[in-house]
Amino acid sequence: MEKEELKILAQHLANPQGEKGIEVGEMMNATNISMTLESIRTLLIEDDESILEIGHGNADHVKSILNLAKGLKYTGIDISETMHLEAKRLNQGFEKQADFVLYEGSELPFEDQTFDKIFTVNTVYFWEKPVEFLNEIFRVLKDNGTLVLTFVQRQSMEKLPFTAYNFTLYSNDEMEELISKSHFKRMRTSEKEEETKSKTENETIKRIYTILTIKK
């Protein structure tokens, strides 16, 4: 890919827009689905819980969440209007259980202690003020709730050409230091390795990712 193409891809990975954004959303869902499902398993979802996903993409995985337990309420939030509309379209059959919210990316439009479980996959690279945003998550999470934050480690991300454009990359140590500056107090780290399809080439790549289970 040429430099300008990589820049455009990076922009769409951060905030998918229009027809190209829909394509990128489908690609993100395909390349991230194992990370997403592993993150959902880590949440240990139980009956009647309220779940928030930050940066839901096209949300083609929501049915996998709603099938895990009874009486679940899922809320997905995203900065991309394209993904907001795609998520609603792909989840028309779950309107009573799934709600999708468009927001500006820094303040979560919810009351304090609204959610039992919160998760986010591959979004932390784009947080402009990460400590402040973690504190927003802390605010809307119930006292006994769980945050699962999943990201690909710096050593794997640095090999991808598009991450040179407006991505902030983290090692495990850097991420743990970041979280220690927020209101959150406890975390457990789990490391995974997987093969996935490249976003820029017709090949598979290996990557190491981390799932952080974070508590108040």
Alpha-carbon distance of 161 to 158, in angstroms, equals 7
User: Does residue 198 carry a pLDDT above 90?
Assistant: no
Task: Give 8 or 146, the one with higher predicted confidence.
Answer: 146
User: Does residue 197 carry a pLDDT above 90?
Assistant: no
Which pLDDT band, with edges at 50, 70 and 90, does 88 fall under? very high
Alpha-carbon distance of 183 to 180, in angstroms, equals 8
**Tell me, what's the pLDDT at 158?**
95
Q: Which two tokens stand for residue 211?
A: 């799932």
Alpha-carbon distance of 42 to 206, in angstroms, equals 22
Rg (CA), the chain: 16
Closest CA to 150 of 98, 188, 112: 188
